[in-house]
Structure 1
Amino acid sequence: MHLVTNAPESKPAITANHLTLTLGQGAEATAILHGVSLSVPQGQVVALLGPSGSGKSSLMALLSGLERASGGQLIVAGQDFSQLDEDALARARRGRIGVVLQAFHLLPTMTALENVMTPLELAGLPDAEARAREELAAVGLTHRLTHYPTQLSGGEQQRVAIARALAPRPTLIFADEPTGNLDHATGEAIIELLFARRAESGATLVIITHDEALAARAQRIIRLSDGHIASDSLNDPHHASENLHASHDRTL
């Protein structure tokens, strides 16, 4: 019998220690996050839940490197984000972190295809156009490649933003209410795409959602309240697909 001893454990994708976030200064200062600590293993699917104003989007902005914490330490993919300046953070995110925000942040002077190609070109990938076309096809926008953001509906812009986030095949994917502007059928297809891409690459997936059925598909559910982690529990998503479809059936 062959025994494996001292097998190395994979490093966490995210390690946050006592993260705080305060906006404004002096009498106008508002504390958003209060000493949040968590560790996320590589490849885990995490759902962030909580009422509006609980700090979900702010926490995602910190974890993805889009916002800098006011205090605490943050290690992402082995890099100490707490010690990086803005340029270094941008380089650390490039090609490794995909973010889907409620605000799409598409470049208005670029077509849908060019918006998706841009991060691929910045990452130095030689097949930028082919991969961008593939991702736009995956979100059902083959017929919109040459359209500009102002020529697209809100739902179509959301799908371009999702394609842009997934195209570099990031090892960490963050999605803030990714189906918020989509109809039922398209939203369900996008969620399947997110989970499929995560499964293909072994990426870590963190989703902000108000949908309890969608959250049930995650391996871990973290609930925030008033800038604190109110609960953090592992979840068995074995029956999550059935729960998700049952929830959709009840809404039809």
Structure 2
Amino acid sequence: MVSVTNTSSGASPAISARNLTLTLGSASAPVDILRGIDLDIAKGEVVALLGPSGSGKSSLMAVLSGLERASGGTLNVAGADFAGMDEDGLAQARRGRIGIVLQAFHLLPTMTAAENVATPMELAGAQDAQPRAEAELEAVGLGHRIGHYPTQLSGGEQQRVAIARAIAPRPELIFADEPTGNLDVTTGEEIVKLLFERRTASGATLLIITHDAALAEKCERVLTMADGVIVSDTKNVAA
């Protein structure tokens, strides 16, 4: 097991976890998914998370992003005590703090591109959700597709909408789980370039789950998981 600490001197980390655990299943047949994660991620850092299927990567992202409650340990995310919150509290804490980009896009089929981006901001009480959504869609190259529905968009265009939806609220953290997994190589490269560009513009911390070693090399830091723990932590000097 590797204890992972990488924050600037005096700066509070974007993510700080100690002895973080996740156990699923029944009391009589528990399954340990995360087995004591110690992790600090600095504000503004770009981190790749690698590991084989079943290593716990997606589960760790779910816990760090507040989609899943940890079973034990401490977890502070963007100044909020995620370990001490119930599911409703986590849902509230995610708003404005966290943007999520998933492999399967998860756009609402009955909403236009602009509505898919604006609706989460409207639910969070933003008064300027629509113009912000349109501006972010322009920024990801979809100004001409604002009124189109997901079924009218290519896979790459749908992922651009998903990126716009994640970044438009200007979250402190962005999580991306295999963001190019459903795309061809060329489109995937375009999406990665766009994701990095928009992250730079927003200044957010970025954590990417990927099987792609080439994508990991573009990140400042690479964490590798196996059997529910972090087994290595490497800095990419050239990133």
TM-score (norm 1): 0.84
Structure 2 matches for 1:29-178, cutoff 5 A?
Answer: 29-178=30-179
List gaps (5 residues or longer) in structure 1. Answer: 1-6, 241-252
Structure 2: how far apart are the matches of 1:169 and 1:193?
16
Structure 1: how far apart are the matches of 2:127 and 2:139?
20
Q: Runs of 4 or more off by more than 6 Å in structure 1?
A: none
| Secondary structure of the structure 2 residue equivalent to 1:110 | coil
Classify 1:22/1:66 alpha carbon distance in 2 versus 1 (closer, same or farther; 3 Å).
same
| Secondary structure of the structure 1 residue equivalent to 2:14 | strand
Structure 2: how far apart are the matches of 1:186 and 1:180?
11
What displacement does 1:24 show? Answer: 1.3
Structure 2 matches for 1:146-225, cutoff 5 A?
Answer: 146-225=147-226
Aligned residue type for 2:87 = E
Aligned residues: 232
Aligned residue type for 1:36 = I
| Secondary structure of the structure 2 residue equivalent to 1:26 | coil
Between the two structures, name the one with larger relative contact order (CA 8 Å, sep ≥ 6). Answer: 2
Structure 2: how far apart are the matches of 1:208 and 1:61?
11
The alignment yields a C-alpha RMSD, in angstroms, of 2.0
Classify 1:193/1:152 alpha carbon distance in 2 versus 1 (closer, same or farther; 3 Å).
closer
| Secondary structure of the structure 1 residue equivalent to 2:74 | strand
What displacement does 1:233 show? Answer: 2.0
Structure 2: how far apart are the matches of 1:93 and 1:165?
11
Cα pair 1:95 1:119 within 8 Å, conserved: no
Cα pair 1:171 1:204 within 8 Å, conserved: yes
Cα pair 1:94 1:122 within 8 Å, conserved: no
List gaps (5 residues or longer) in structure 2. Answer: 1-7
Question: What percent of counterpart residues are identical?
Answer: 69
| Secondary structure of the structure 1 residue equivalent to 2:83 | helix
What displacement does 1:181 show? Answer: 1.8
Cα pair 1:158 1:181 within 8 Å, conserved: no
Cα pair 2:225 2:232 within 8 Å, conserved: yes
Aligned residue type for 2:196 = F
What displacement does 1:27 show? Answer: 4.1
TM-score (norm 2): 0.88
What displacement does 1:151 show? Answer: 4.2
What displacement does 1:154 show? Answer: 4.0
Classify 1:27/1:170 alpha carbon distance in 2 versus 1 (closer, same or farther; 3 Å).
same
Residue deviations 1:194-232, cap 9 Å, x none? 222222232111001111111111111100011111111
